[in-house]
Structure 1
């Protein structure tokens, strides 16, 4: 009898726990990808009331949801192609950071069944079907009191185009779409109605991080951000020996840049410009057109510039450089150099800045060589992964990167260093420097004449 009582009590205590089992994102494997999967879409709702246990929305009865509050912003997160079947590694952070940033309805769109396949074309064909299913859900939300203005879709790779297809169905009246490295293959040559497009929402911001392989190269949004020119992201592997990470690292960097913007450790400032080369030459560091709000930032808070950007007839491309790890921010300086060599010199300048305590940080080398001509100013944008507020010393190193031939000498008549992130800081100058190739020259800069310092 005692054993029976214990058994019944155990059942009694277990049943409530069983009833609380939380729906989860579909977890598949490579075997599923090899055999292929039939499309199935589930929507998992998280709010601040249920941040750790999703509520699965019922397609034909969305308004019966316990947690959906149609008076609040509704954010959809849509993943892309899943060749191995596993849930996206970034999904947990995306959920946690979005909910901590704002009191929203967060909906994870799980179409892993349909995205998990080794046949990429099959996943592409499923995108239209996913968009149609999402429209059914959105229609019910609108009946339940939601507004198109409050709908925000974040799409990764193929998911960006799915968001675009949904936006098309509502004639571009969705509040916002963010495309995180929208997929390029099967979309690069397609007209606007077959991919994400600036007219798919009231505001469309896009981060392009892998334009030479998996991502879409041309502008797709109201504003298009190109970190490090849109390819070759710092910290990503450069050889095949790194395996799968070599192929997906650049592509996924767009997601991690977006996540970084939610952490708010620093704002990643960007610079609207015609090209990455013009940006690197320091031609686009004045954001007067965007005053009084200054330059746009990339990520979740990019829509602060919505009212300023929408009047532009052509897409705005914004460029910026990043460090190789989170939070990815760079502290930019414009180096202005005038040389007095009689013959032309072509090469690269590496900059190091130091404070009085011996802390030092080194710039990244420029991707394009500069051309130095006698008495002509050359502007070089250089960035540092850490900030040094008061620069006590700095160094310059000149290099042609030539493997053979005589070493070169660069004679500097005048050098000026200007903080881009903090333009109120004193400009620092130095006169009459001689740089021998590959030899670091350390010196103390002085405040420039006429700067009021």
Structure 2
């Protein structure tokens, strides 16, 4: 409120505050909260001040335009009661990417509790409330195909329950690490399912703890195999971040896809192990589409599927920092050691300016046998357009015994992200264990490589 004065007259002007996401605390979590849902609408006309939709009079909204796409963002379990840390970025980036109706579904009262099961039981109630809002939007001119529900953890299953109510005719559901506890092992009508929308894309980033392991969508993305995410704490001494970092990574990968700093390209594959062995780098088998990208633009891939294929799993690696870009290469090696060698290879690439980028080392040892080709997927957090030097380091990670040698008959390095770049080769190298060998690669001699 403020006082405005004109001449000898003063007026008290009461300014209406912008509706905000419910902010609770740990005390509310221990005492428990009764379910209350509010829908906060943002558009490009009211980016900085939400409009609270009226539950039984949605058409009275000043800003809702039912001729445009309607995107719902549904959060999950809130054990401490605070608003999600990612909420502001989600709002800003979604509205920057597309002219949409963005609706933040705030069910913090109902999600804030130390008893996880209570929050789970509220999920179907939230879905029923959302159906009431959506029904009014449909009467007001919206179409089911224009609806996109983005659900985080428990929110992913809420989105699935909404989709079930419309018999899978919603346009799209995005599940960001759907919750595993209380949902693993449940039948499809008790969780998110591929039939809940016309297109269901899911990012699994914590399948060994808080997330859901098995596929749930039209396409399921498993960054770094879906378990330990790079850059996340590895020990309990890191505090709360140890428990939530992997789980939240799905959200931050989705946000990264809205920043357009790089395409997070993924590779349809039967398993993460096959992906790491370089068996799934060529998307030609999936023509006429290219490799799918993860995140907001994943539906570009869907539009090329006519008709829809069976559910697809896709794998990709990321760096440990936002925007999580990774530039993939396939390293192919043929050795001529008479005896089998097992070990790891670290790769560095360099340009004329002296920039050097080091690859992530695979977590699984490769097996090198005489005259047999071994493919290793290797990724770099930064791209180098023109490689003038590179190095290989072979290690067995053994602390005892003699240093092994790996005799390389032929080495090839091929960019996965940019197929137009020349494939690089080197012939007749000897790698002594734990010793970096630097060399200048040359364009491969074979025709068609």
TM-score range, shorter chain: over 0.9
Correspondence for 1:338 among 334, 353, 359: 334
- Structure 1: 4+ residue segments shifted above 4 A: 3-11
Question: Is 2:256–2:322's contact at 8 Å kept on the other side of the alignment?
Answer: yes
Question: Quick one: distance in 2 between partners of 1:69 and 1:110?
Answer: 20
Question: Is 2:290–2:301's contact at 8 Å kept on the other side of the alignment?
Answer: no
Secondary structure of the residue aligned to 1:113 is helix
| 2:74 is equivalent to residue 83 of structure 1 | no
Correspondence for 2:296 among 290, 296, 300: 300
Shift of 1:405: 2.2
Question: Is 2:169–2:197's contact at 8 Å kept on the other side of the alignment?
Answer: yes
Shift of 1:424: 1.1
Secondary structure of the residue aligned to 1:256 is helix
Aligned to 1:200: 196
Question: Is 2:289–2:304's contact at 8 Å kept on the other side of the alignment?
Answer: no
Question: Quick one: distance in 2 between partners of 1:7 and 1:371?
Answer: 89
The two structures have a TM-score, normalised by structure 1, of: 0.96
Question: Quick one: distance in 2 between partners of 1:411 and 1:267?
Answer: 36
| 2:55 is equivalent to residue 59 of structure 1 | yes
| 2:262 is equivalent to residue 269 of structure 1 | no
Question: Is 2:4–2:11's contact at 8 Å kept on the other side of the alignment?
Answer: no
Aligned to 1:286: 282
Shift of 1:288: 1.3
Secondary structure of the residue aligned to 2:400 is coil
Question: Is 2:288–2:304's contact at 8 Å kept on the other side of the alignment?
Answer: no
Question: Quick one: distance in 1 between partners of 2:145 and 2:10?
Answer: 50
Aligned 1:30-429 pairs, distance under 5 A: 30-309=26-305, 311-429=307-425
Deviation per CA, 1:155-189: give whole Å up to 9, x if none.
00000000000000000000000000000000011
Shift of 1:66: 0.5
Deviation per CA, 1:117-162: give whole Å up to 9, x if none.
0100000000000000000000000011110000100000000000
Aligned 1:5-44 pairs, distance under 5 A: 11-12=11-12, 14-15=13-14, 18-19=15-16, 21-44=17-40
Q: Which runs of 5+ in 2 are unaligned?
A: none
Question: Quick one: distance in 2 between partners of 1:331 and 1:374?
Answer: 29
Shift of 1:402: 1.4
Q: 1:194 to 1:8 in 2, by over 3 A?
A: farther
Question: Is 2:289–2:305's contact at 8 Å kept on the other side of the alignment?
Answer: no
Question: Quick one: distance in 1 between partners of 2:340 and 2:112?
Answer: 56
Question: Quick one: distance in 1 between partners of 2:423 and 2:86?
Answer: 41
Q: 1:381 to 1:220 in 2, by over 3 A?
A: same
Q: 1:4 to 1:177 in 2, by over 3 A?
A: closer
Q: Which moved more, 1:285-294 or 1:89-98?
A: 285-294
Deviation per CA, 1:11-68: give whole Å up to 9, x if none.
43x42xx22x100000000111011110000000000010000000000100010100
Question: Is 2:28–2:112's contact at 8 Å kept on the other side of the alignment?
Answer: yes
The two structures have a TM-score, normalised by structure 2, of: 0.97
Q: 1:380 to 1:142 in 2, by over 3 A?
A: same
Q: Which moved more, 1:349-358 or 1:287-296?
A: 287-296
Secondary structure of the residue aligned to 2:49 is coil
Question: Is 2:5–2:11's contact at 8 Å kept on the other side of the alignment?
Answer: no
Q: 1:395 to 1:22 in 2, by over 3 A?
A: same
Question: Quick one: distance in 2 between partners of 1:237 and 1:430?
Answer: 38
Q: Which runs of 5+ in 1 are unaligned?
A: none
Shift of 1:293: 3.6
Shift of 1:205: 0.2
Secondary structure of the residue aligned to 1:361 is strand
Shift of 1:451: 4.6
